[in-house]
Structure formats: structure tokens, C-alpha cells
Amino acid sequence: MSETYRLHVNGVDHEVADGWLGESLLYVLRERLGLYGSKGACEQGECGSCSVLVDGELVCACLVLAAGAVGRPIVTIEGIGAGGELTDVQRAFVDTGAVQCGFCTPGLIMATHRLLDRDPDPADIDIREALSGNICRCTGYGRIVEAVQRVAVARRGGAR
Amino acid sequence: MGLCTICQVAVLIPRSLHDALGALDGHPGALVLAGGTDLMVEVNEGHRRIEPDLTVVAVDRVPELRTWTLDRAAGTLRIGAGVSYAELEDEPLAELLPALAQAARTVGSPQIRNAATIGGNLATCSPAGDGLPVLSALGATVELASAAGTRTLPVDEFMLGVKRTALQPGELLTAVTVPLLQGWQGYAKVGVRNAMVIAIAGACVAVDGPSRSVRLALGSVAPTVVRAAEAEAYAAANVAWSGDPVDPAVATEFGRLAAEASRPIDDHRATAAYRRHAVEVLSRRLLTRAFA
């Protein structure tokens, strides 16, 4: 049994050494790889703060066994933009004031990217359903939904 | 080495069904990990003790488990155990099994449904598993494979109690085969909000026109799924098979018989009395929708 394994995170291979193989991907990202963007709150898949992409699918990193994710491409909030630039989704969250304490924001950004990649013109109900697994206790969601709509409109060339 | 050498775990990642069954044959006490949405919660919360030398067999990369096969001639859909709720709630599967799609849509959040599998729902066998009343009402059959061979069981015989199933050590739940009925089917559930909610009560009604049968399976109101046989027989004898709407009095009696078949408990989510009332209302509404 190997006590060292490799995870492919944000395009880079990371060696995970000295880990316990029962650790969640969230724990490994934060505590072993120093990627603190994904947040840990409920550790039971309820809050969405740890949302990441594994093999392109949006999942809760707290419910992924890290050692079981060997060989799968993982994208975290640190890897969603290119070269340290904010993505259009991140910019829209800032512009609309969809961020207050910021704890839920990385998860919401990941979920929004996944939604808009799949559905460039989501209705309000689609946005709310796509973000239903991401809990925000500050904003009341109004500005978050507005941010998503703003990106969708902008990506379509500004046509409403 | 390591922080926790004493509880070191081995994680096996088989890439074929053959290798998965071989892994379980070699480690009959292994934990099978599919989507992880049940198992990892138990691990994170410390409810599941990770014993020294435990083996985890992660089956999410076994391609045979991730496929589904439609057999129009036999009138069945065979769904691999690794098919996710996200796949079940979308076309083309949603059109084939609308009640299962409805149940799938009520499971957790998009994040959970991307990971969680129908096989995991069955193998965990929670009283509140949303897919389970649907599979029971539709008369599904599960396939259990081991290195020694494969056996099939009706889903009602597979589910034995609270998180107890007929799975034997070394066995893997590989698929569930669901008959395609000809008639209305639907799932309804009561919970505290629309997303991220464990059922307080759930019910599935499935109608089969050719056999003139009405099936009713209840979730979260007993140690495992309950088929309400009296309510089913009553409905079959009293609905208008000609296509007319169901008599409201018949729907009311159907709901009463459903509540009578339930065996709910009080817990932190709801009282037994509330659950009994909830399945009564859900069953009545479902029958009304089925024969509208």
C-alpha cells in the first residue's frame, strides 16, 4: 500500500505525502496542498462551500475520497481563471455586490461556471436550482442571481 | 510514517468489473465506495470507524457499472449501479422512468446528484432513500455479482431494514433492472425545503394499464420501503380504467389505507403522526394526478 499518491490539481501534479488515505479531497487540498480557496463548513455536502470540478463535474470536495481521485483532473477556485486574472463570473460577483463575508463565494463561483458552461441562457429558476446546493447566509441570493444573469447576458454579446 | 499510520487504509481503484469483483473476493470485508455522498459523511463525522488495514474499493471507474441498456422487446431498462442521479433526472432516462427522474431531482443538490449513484442509494438502504420507493413500486430487480457468479433479487427482498440489505460479503450490487410500465407514474416527497432535504415522507404511485394494477410504495415511514398492498388492491378495484378522473372519495380512502400501511417513528425530523398524515396526503394527491 502506497502512502504517497499524486493528485492532478489545476493542471499540475501534486504529490500527497504522509497522508491518511481516508482523508477527503477538501482536507487534502487545504491542509496538505495549501489550496485554501475551497472552504470547509458542513463536511456533509450540505453547504457547497467546497465545490470543485472533478473530471469536469461539480462535486463537493468534502465527499470525495482524495486517494480515490488519483488520475482525475481536479479544478479548484484557484485554477478557474487564467494567470491570476478574475474570470467574468468573479468580476460580476464583485460588480453586483454578490459578496459579503465571502465564505461561500468560491463554491458559488464554481457552481456558476459549471451552470453557464452547460446552459448559456438560464432562466431564473434554472439559476436558483443550479445554486441550490450553495448556501449563503449573508446576501439573500438576490445579488448572486443578478451576477449570474449579468454574465449570461454579457457572454451572449449583451443582448437581453 | 504519516499522521495516522495505525489506521492506514488501502484504496483500490479497479478499472473493470472483473477487477472489482476480484478486489472484493480478496477483501470480503472491504468498504465499497461509489459516489461517496453517504460514506464520506460517515467518515467525516466519525460515525464510521476506519479500522486498521481497512480496504476501500472505489468502484466509480468501473465502466460496466456506468452504463444503461434499454430492452424494448422485454420492456425493461437495466441501469448500472454507478449511474448517477444527474443522469437519471435528465433525458433520455427521465422519459423512460419519469417517477425515478422526479425522485432523482429531489435528491440533495446538483453537486450531490453529480456524484451519488442509484446503486449507492440501494446499498446504503436508508429509510429515506428517495430512489427506493420508486424502484419498489416499479417492481425492480437488483443484480448482485461476486467472483462466484451473479444472482438477482426483487428489490423488495433486497431491502431488509434500516441500512440493512441482502448483500453478502464479497458481493457487489452491479445493476437494477426496471420494468417499463404503461401508465402514469410519479414520486412526491415532503421535506423542509425544495433542495438539500432528507425526506420526512415520500410516496410513489405507478400505474400499469395492461395489468390494471396500481402500485404504491412509501418511504421514510418505516425501517425500509413499504408497499401498501391494501391501498393498491383498493385502487385497482375502484378507479375508472376508462380514463375518467378518480372519485375524490376513492382517493381519500386510498390515502387512508396508505397511512394505515405506514409504521413511522418520532425523530428529530418529524413526529410519527405528522409522517402518517404526510403519506396520506401524498398518496391521495398522487392517485388524483394519476387518474386526472
Q: Where do the DSSP E strands lie in A17-150?
A: 51-54, 57-60, 73-75
Count how many Cα atoms sit within 13 Å of the Cα of residue B92 in the half-sphere of its side chain.
6
Chain B CB contacts of A51 under 8 Å are 111
User: Does B1 contact A59 at a Cβ distance shorter than 8 Å?
Assistant: no
Per domain, the residue ranges of chain B are 5-58, 63-179, 185-290
Architecture of domain B5-58 in this structure: 2-Layer Sandwich (3.30)
**What region does A42 belong to: left with phi over 0, alpha with psi -120 to 50, or beta?**
alpha
Model confidence over B184-210: pLDDT tens digits? 999 999 998 888 889 999 999 999 999
Per domain, the residue ranges of chain A are 5-79, 88-155
Tell me which of 1.10.150.120, 1.20.1250.20, 2.40.10.10, 3.40.50.720 is the CATH number of domain A88-155.
Answer: 1.10.150.120
Q: Are B40 and A63 in contact (CB under 8 A)?
A: yes
Q: Which residue of B has its CA nearest to A27?
A: B44
Q: Which residue of A has its CA nearest to B40?
A: A63
Nearest to B88 by CA among B61, B73, B107: B107
For the record, the C-alpha cell of B282 comes out as: 401524498
Q: Which residue of A has its CA nearest to B37?
A: A63
User: Does A48 contact B50 at a Cβ distance shorter than 8 Å?
Assistant: no
Tell me which of 3.90.1010.10, 2.60.40.650, 3.30.465.10, 3.40.190.10 is the CATH number of domain B63-179.
Answer: 3.30.465.10
- Alpha carbon separation from B190 to B182, B272, B278 (Å, rounded): 26, 14, 7
Model confidence over B208-241: pLDDT tens digits? 999 999 999 999 999 999 999 999 999 999 999 9
Nearest to A5 by CA among A31, A36, A28: A28
* Region A5-79: CATH code: 3.10.20.30
Q: Are B133 and B92 in contact (CB under 8 A)?
A: no
Q: What is the pLDDT of residue B3?
A: 37
Angle (CA) B84 B89 B90, round 5°: 100
User: Does A68 contact B58 at a Cβ distance shorter than 8 Å?
Assistant: yes
Model confidence over B26-67: pLDDT tens digits? 998 899 999 999 999 998 888 877 677 789 999 999 999 999
Average of pLDDT values for B86-91?
97
Helix (H), strand (E) at residue A107 = helix A105-118
Residues with Cβ within 8 Å of A34's Cβ and at least 6 positions away in sequence, in order, are: none
Mean pLDDT of chain B: 94
Q: Residue A18: count other Cβ atoms within 10 Å of its Cβ.
A: 12
**Topology of the domain comprising B185-290:** Enolase-like; domain 1 (3.30.390)
- Which stretches within B73-198 are classed as H helix? 85-88, 93-96, 98-105, 110-115, 118-124, 131-138, 155-158
